[in-house]
Amino acid sequence: MGDNGSDGKNTLTVRDNRTGREYEIDIQDGDVIRAMDIRQIKVSDDDFGMMSYDPAFSNTASTRSAITFIDGGKGILEYRGYPIEQLAERSTYLEVAYLILKGELPTKAELDGFTHNITNHTYVHENFRRLMRGFRYDAHAMSMVISGVAALNTFYPDGSDVRDPQNRWLQMQRLVAKMPTLAAYAYRHYRGLPAVYPENELSYTANFLNMLFRIGGREYKPNPVLERALDVLFILHADHEQNCSTTTMRVIGSAETDPYSALAGAMGALFGPLHGGANEAVLKMLNRIGSMENIPAFMKGVKNREERLMGFGHRVYKAYDPRANIIKRTADEVFEVTGRNPLLDIALELERIALDDDFFVSRNLYPNVDFYSGLIYQALGFPVEMFPVLFAIPRTVGWLAQWEEMLEDKEQRISRPRQIFTGRAKRDFVPIEER
Ligand code: ACO
């Protein structure tokens, strides 16, 4: 690496030992090189040029982004520059949603307008309820919501005009507003209960809880502590930069697909157990351990690599996941109301042992967001099938902000990675009777 002196640019000098030629590659943004800059490295003029190989995009920045900042080593998460701790403490989910979508915290008038718009787009077409009723009685809630989001495009075909910013803003508000309605319809179908219509004078989370848990004509008043806890969980899950589902959203959106179809695709990615399904795995693990006296044997199994301590470790965070800290406090508040979940004691003990054990400490394994979230969801009365849906509702904001950022980014085009072909060389077709 060196400085070429003439214009003060940092460059990387690459020598190709096949040809003896040297190339100067610009280093940008601190320590980034453009993959296209290595295309000039060729053995002959008709050579395609050099590519980089990066399965699972482990070391490839696919975009510039101004939305979410993560420093995994230091355990920092910021939305538009605001630390997650301050947002979880002092903000509401809709305020954070506005921040993520628009880039700045709203003024009072802006927040009032946004809240009004969101609470007035909560209804879906009546045919939608019939669509939901068509699913089998035991259909997975996430599958129903994924299908529902894709189906929304049939009700809002104007969503396809993705190059019009005003139209995009309308579709984004529609999606943020209707996700709880879709989720509640799926849940009620799953429970064999009639759907409850949205109540637009309630808060975002109170309306959601009402649509989920109201029975008959009786008024349902969510406990304010539980309403706030759900709001905090929504804030924590609103965005997490270029993860698997967000990348899916951007890739589908790069084909100028409507936001409903793109978001259904992103939800499909989130549904995977390696992504949005880990909190369910934590609950299963805690249930399997069952009681405090089984913990030592379980931990021995983890250290012998017979199993994983689910809810621990993270690809990006190599320190305490800042969301886990906040969730732990929220869990305490929720359990004050709902009564203590006995599984919490097992979780706390697992954490206590792990944070003091060299196996976990030396590998930087700390609790992640999923270690405590499942316990809270369970205490709030959600079946595990709803867990990925509860992740998808707030992440809708992140997906949409990233989608819009991608569409506005002049450097972005339709996503199209390259491959290293490993198949057979050209050969002639063989008639079936000769094979
Ligand atoms: N329990 C025990 N050991 C673990 C765990 C764990 N949960 N996580 C990692 N390790 C060990 C690995 O065995 C490995 O040890 P080694 O170097 O001696 O072979 C080392 O720690 C590094 O682990 P990797 O698998 O290389 O870490 P990676 O970054 O690929 O994986 C992941 C991250 C998938 C999150 C992993 O930590 C894991 O499986 N955790 C449990 C599942 C989980 O909680 N997922 C939720 C993530 S948060 C989210 O998606 C919202």
Look at residue 8 in the predicted model and tell me its pLDDT: 67
Whether the predicted pLDDT of 426 surpasses 60: yes
Say what percent of the chain tops pLDDT 90: 85
Whether the predicted pLDDT of 315 surpasses 90: no
Task: Name the closest-CA residue to atom 47, ligand 1.
Answer: 314
Pocket test for ligand 1, best of 243, 300, 308 (most atoms within 8 A of CB): 308
Burial 216-239 (b: 16+ CB within 10 A, else e): eeeebebeeebbbbbbbbbbbbbb
Dist CA 380 CA 373 (whole Å): 11
Look at residue 355 in the predicted model and tell me its pLDDT: 93
Beta carbon of 280 within 6 Å of any ligand 1 atom: no
Q: pLDDT tens digits for 384-410?
A: 999 999 999 999 999 999 999 999 999
Look at residue 7 in the predicted model and tell me its pLDDT: 62
DSSP 382-429: --GGGHHHHHHHHHHHHHHHHHHHHHH-TT--S--------SPPP---
Pocket test for ligand 1, best of 363, 368, 371 (most atoms within 8 A of CB): 363
Look at residue 342 in the predicted model and tell me its pLDDT: 86
Pair of tokens at residue 232 = 């905090």
**Which residues have C-beta within 8 Å of that of residue 364, sequence separation ≥ 6?**
313, 318, 319
Distance (angstroms) between ligand 1 centre and the Cα of 375 equals 20
Read off the pLDDT of each residue in 314-330 and give the average, rounded to a whole number: 89
Measured in degrees and rounded to the nearest 5, phi and psi for residue 358 equal -60, -30
Distance (angstroms) between ligand 1 centre and the Cα of 313 equals 5
Q: pLDDT tens digits for 54-93?
A: 999 999 999 999 999 999 999 999 999 999 999 999 999 9
Dist CA 92 CA 98 (whole Å): 10
Whether the predicted pLDDT of 319 surpasses 90: no
Q: pLDDT tens digits for 195-220?
A: 999 998 999 999 999 999 999 877 88
The kind and range of the H/E element at 37 are none
> Given the structure tokens 């993560």, which residue do they identify?
70
DSSP 330-355: HHHHHHHHH---HHHHHHHHHHHHHT
Catalytic annotation, pick one of 121, 237, 240, 314? 314
Q: Measured on CA atoms in the order 199, 166, 158, 386, is the torsion positive or negative? A: negative
Confidence at 5, pLDDT banded by 50, 70, 90: very low
Confidence at 187, pLDDT banded by 50, 70, 90: very high
- β-strand partners of 25: 12
Measured in degrees and rounded to the nearest 5, phi and psi for residue 201 equal -90, -5
> Given the structure tokens 């806890």, which residue do they identify?
229
Beta carbon of 275 within 6 Å of any ligand 1 atom: yes
Q: Measured on CA atoms in the order 133, 135, 137, 139, is the torsion positive or negative? A: negative
Nearest residue to 258 via CA among 125, 157, 144: 157
Look at residue 36 in the predicted model and tell me its pLDDT: 96
Look at residue 68 in the predicted model and tell me its pLDDT: 98
- Cα dihedral 401→403→407→413 (10° resolution): 140
Q: pLDDT tens digits for 227-275?
A: 999 999 999 999 999 999 999 999 999 999 999 999 999 999 999 878 8
384, HSE (Cβ side, Cα atoms, 13 Å): 11
Beta carbon of 87 within 6 Å of any ligand 1 atom: no
Nearest residue to 380 via CA among 242, 204, 172, 229: 229
Nearest residue to 279 via CA among 360, 205, 213, 376: 376
Dist CA 327 CA 77 (whole Å): 14
DSSP-assigned letter for residue 55: G
Cα 349 to Cα 6, 294, 300: the distances in Å are: 60, 11, 14
Read off the pLDDT of each residue in 171-181 and give the average, rounded to a whole number: 98
Q: pLDDT tens digits for 83-128?
A: 999 999 999 999 999 999 999 999 999 999 999 999 999 999 999 8
Dist CA 401 CA 150 (whole Å): 18
Pair of tokens at residue 342 = 């006995």
Give Cα 396 to chain centroid, integer Å.
8
- Cα dihedral 136→137→141→142 (10° resolution): -20
For 219-223, 254-258, 428-432, which range has the lowest pLDDT when averaged over its residues? Answer: 219-223
Q: In whole numbers, what is the pLDDT of the chain averaged over residues?
A: 94
Distance (angstroms) between ligand 1 centre and the Cα of 332 equals 26
Do residues 249 and 239 touch, judged by C-beta distance below 8 A?
Answer: no
Confidence at 3, pLDDT banded by 50, 70, 90: low
Catalytic annotation, pick one of 161, 275, 357, 409? 275
Distance (angstroms) between ligand 1 centre and the Cα of 305 equals 11
Other CB atoms within 10 Å distance of the CB of residue 162: 19
